[in-house]
Amino acid sequence: MPPGVASLEIETKAFDEVKVVKLAGRLAMGPALDRFNATMSELLGSGHNRIVLDLEEVPTIDSSGIGTLVRHLTSAKQTGGAIRLLRPSKFTMQTLKTVGLLNLFSTFEELPQAVASFE
């Protein structure tokens, strides 16, 4: 990857019927967001509609990232699932609040509670 291009690490783990997707890096337009979109589309397309997004290591999110989050949340809800946010940064929380979308997401500070919220 060329210097200066923001990268995004994506790690997916399973906790029973819940998928936990840990992100590290900026969630912003470009190759990073394309990879995130592909990961989420693959999970949702294969029937995994209970997803926890671990955003602890995502310092910022841009409007493209927000749009992608909302689109995947809608897809998950249409099949009876949901997307929970785990440890979103203050900036991410403020960004979602500013655009009036924070109320769409349940947020958690601890993984066990986020996973248990699906039961």
Q: Can you give the pTM of this predicted structure?
A: 0.92
Convert the pLDDT of each residue in 50-106 to its tens digit: 999 999 999 999 999 999 999 999 999 999 999 999 999 999 999 999 999 999 999
Domain 8-116 of CATH type 3.30.465.10: no
Token pair for 81 = 């699932």
Domain locations in the chain? 8-116
SS3 state at 55:
strand
In sequence order, the 6+-apart residues with CB closer than 8 A to the CB of 109 are 86, 87
Convert the pLDDT of each residue in 31-45 to its tens digit: 999 999 999 999 999
Say how many C-beta atoms besides its own lie within 10 A of residue 74's C-beta: 11
Q: Are 33 and 65 in contact (CB under 8 A)?
A: yes
